[in-house]
Each structure stands twice: as structure tokens, then as C-alpha cells.
Amino acid sequence: MTTPMVRKAFVMASGKGSRFGKKPSAPPKTLSTVGGVSLLERNIRLIDQALRPEIVHLVAGGAPEIVKQAVRSFSSIRAKMIVSEAAPKEMQAGLLGGFAAIAEYVQPDEVFIAALGDEFYEGADHKTFAQALAEHNDFSALCAFKPCRNQEDCQRNFSLVYDESTRRVSSIREKDDSGQGRFFGLGLAAAKGELAHLCRDYCGRGAKASPYELINALPGPILGCRFTGDYVNVNTTEDLWIARDLFWRKGKGLPDVDVVIPALNEEECIEQVVLDFKRVCKQVIVMDNMSEDLTAEKARKAGACVVTRSMGGYGDAIKQGLELCTAQAVAVAEADGSFKSSDLEKLLPYLASHDAVFGSRTSERLVQPGAFMPYLVRMANRTVGLFLSLLWPWHPAKFTDVGCSLRVMRQDAFLDIQSSLIGQGPEFAPEVALELMDHGLRIAEVPISYHPRLGGGSKLSGNYKNSARTAFRMLRLILTKRITK
């Protein structure tokens, strides 16, 4: 395939608008992750690999410092990346202003690539676009498009009239609500620099216009490139769920999963636990909080990745371990053998339609003989779960056991809540639940078996005194966060 000679690409990295209803200080929606990679990075990678520009300008109409910080962590990108901050007037003009900001960097007859950073693509369509760009040089614009599945596609994007025989676009209409649209345009386009200069002229005069509709005013032919892969224009949290579900379901079978196991002086059982979870998990990460026995040595011998360091407590160990995970899904279990990998396998299928799945130990029939889960403790767990659900009444999740530490999340979900987690001890367990709810993520709860410890004594439960202390810390954090939020 001939590589098109386009030196510059421009990706709209952030604007002054939607943060999915979050605070203005929240990261731009382009930094929301799908498959553990932000939408912005995914779009830059697709452009870099298929179109091979020398420079990718990230046009920041808002939160430029956040975008700059994020770009430093982007990997596997050949092109030079530059964050270009839009001027105040351009920022107020929205997408028109973003295209206006491009004019400074391109000549009127120079071809550039423009893309929106908040779109999700799955497939090889960018290579098709590159081929179309390489085969034609007499055009004013080349627009990526898809056939409409329903009229909402045209209402949320822009419609175009496309001639299959000539591969030409005769007109473009933004947010078309006529009900007649057959094709809708995507955020990826190649255009002559004249478009950016026209947008700058409109922006300077304070006029309102869609940069895509302004393509109609360009003198040369407009070409179209049909995309066939999955696509989502991410404007809402529901759109983000759809994109994540599409990415999740492209694989076959159960997802890769890493499990984090916090440990402190668990030499009696850690080896058996690691071997059990290695049967299911891609990676078993044992967070050893400076054990004074052979915990680390035995875990390493069993095949675990062992991290030995001083940590602030149970919750701190889990959070640090989750930050080391690289699989699609991240799980938490215990070092004492009270949970089995067979129950983790029970949770994993629910991730096809949920962001997180929690185990629940409050079904009496599933509590195995010898496990410390008497009636009062079960009722206490149910009470705390009900309390948490009542404090976030707008979320559909209903908990019966927020203290159960066997749970699994999509990596995306953890990345969403990572910066909000502050719990150092057992309060970390309900904190994860409340942050998932506060971020609008989908949660399922599934009954699991609860087994007696294989050895040692529990630091957080195991008797009524420890259980009461743990419950108090959980309730205190729940109330504190609810008040502050």
C-alpha cells in the first residue's frame, strides 16, 4: 500500500464542553479509557500507524496541562506530538474554533488530517482511508462515513449525500434531523488547508458554523471513504459503556485477568493459594507487607509476582497491586484460602455487561463449615450494604456484602476511580463500591462460597471484636465520602 504524503495531523484533544456531567476539573472525556487505553491515545495510534504523519498536533480547547501530562505516557507512536492550545476566542467557538486553530500551521493548498479525539474505532478502516488518500490528490476533502443504522446517527453526527459510482459527496449537513439521511460522517477527514482558514475567518467574525458543513464551500470535489468496523461517537457515559462492551466482546472466551493478593505472614497457606489462582489468572501479584516469615519466598516459588515493601495497610496494598496489573480484568482475593479460583471464574462472565462484579458471602448455604460467617456477621454485612445503597439511591446496585474482598473489575473501571481511592485499611472495600457508583459504573453482585482459613489468624475479622472494628472503619469512610460528595 502506498503511504499518503500528509505531513500533519490534528486531533481535537479537549474542549470546553462535556465531562460526562462531572466537575469542570475532571479530565477531558478523550482521556476516558477503552481497554485500558485512552480514546485520545487510541485515535493517535490509528492515525500514526495507517497515515504516517510527521507531526500530530493535539488541539486543546480546555485543560491543556492535563492533556500535556497524559501525552507524556503515550507509547508506540512514531510521529512527533505537539499540544497546541486554542486561543480564548477559538475555545469559545467549540469545534469551529478547533479547526480555526489549525490555520496557523497549514497553507491553504496543503492537505492535513483532522480527527476528533473522543471517537472509538475498531477494525482496519484507517488503512482503507490511507489507501483512498494515496490514490487521489485532486480533492478539497476526503470524509470517512458509515451507512446509517437509524436516524439518530445523522442527528448526532453529520449526514452526507454520497454517490456510490463516483465515490463523491455532493452535500454535507450537520445534525441532520430530516429523517432522509442514508450516510453519516465520522470525525476523521482529510482536507485542504483552505478549510482551516475559512473556519478561522468565521471564528474571527463571531459567526456560528459547523466546520464539516463549511466543506461544502470548498471549490474542489469532496470524496467519501466508507468505514465498515465498529464505531462509537462518545458523548455520554452510555456511549462509553457501548465502546467498552464492543472492545470487551471482540475476544473469545473469558478475558485475561490479573489477581492481587495482599499478604502479611501467610507462609502456611500462600503457596496453595497462588497455585490455585494461577490456574485461572494470567498473573498472580502478591503484595507482601514486609512479612517476617517465608511468605514472599513461598509465593515466589509457587509462581507469583511478589512485591515486598512497607505499605499503609490492607487497602493500600491492594491499590498498589492493582496499579501493577496489565490484564483486561483485575481481581482481588485473600491470601488465607477463604476464596477459591472457581468462584472467580463464576464472576468473570458478568464482566461482559458490567464494569465490576463483587462476590457476596451472605448466602448461608454457601458458607462452608468452619468459616467465620455467623448470623450476626452476615446481618451486619447486609446492613452496611443496604446503608451504602441508600446513600447512593440513584444507582441501581444493591449490595448485601460490601466487605467481601473477592471481586473483579474491568481495568477501565479501576482507571476511572483510581485517583479517588484513599482508604488504607479494610475501609478500602466499600470505598471501591461507592466510587464505582459515584462514577456511574455498572456493578453486579454474585453469591460465592466462603471457606475456612487454611492457616493463621485474620487481621480484619475472624472474631466479633475485629469484625466490629472493621465495620466501624467502613461506616466512617462511607459517611465521610457521602458528605464530601
| pLDDT at 479 (0 to 100) | 85
**pTM, rounded to two decimals:** 0.83
| 8 A C-beta contact, residue 424 and residue 361 | no
Return the beta strands (E) in 63-133 as ranges: 80-85, 111-116, 119-122
SS3 172: strand
For the cut 60, the answer to whether the pLDDT of residue 182 exceeds it is: yes
For the cut 50, the answer to whether the pLDDT of residue 1 exceeds it is: no
Each residue of 269-294: pLDDT tens digit?
Answer: 999 999 999 999 999 999 999 999 99
What residues form DSSP beta bridges with 192? 111
Average pLDDT on 164-174 reads 91
| pLDDT at 291 (0 to 100) | 96
Each residue of 414-446: pLDDT tens digit?
Answer: 999 999 999 999 899 899 999 999 988 999 999
Task: For each of the domains in the chain, give its residue range(s) and CATH number, in order of start.
Answer: 8-249 (3.90.550.10), 257-484 (3.90.550.10)
Handedness of CA 463, 468, 469, 470 (dihedral sign): positive
Sort strands 305-308 and 8-14 into parallel, antiparallel or unpaired.
unpaired
Distance CA 152, CA 238 (A): 15
Residue 370 CB contacts under 8 Å (≥ 6 apart), including other chains: 451, 452
- Work out the pLDDT band at 374, boundaries 50, 70, 90: confident
Each residue of 122-138: pLDDT tens digit?
Answer: 878 999 999 999 988 78
For the cut 80, the answer to whether the pLDDT of residue 10 exceeds it is: yes
| pLDDT at 329 (0 to 100) | 95
Each residue of 193-204: pLDDT tens digit?
Answer: 999 999 999 999
Angle at 253 between CA 279 and CA 251, to 5 degrees: 120
Sort strands 158-163 and 33-34 into parallel, antiparallel or unpaired.
unpaired
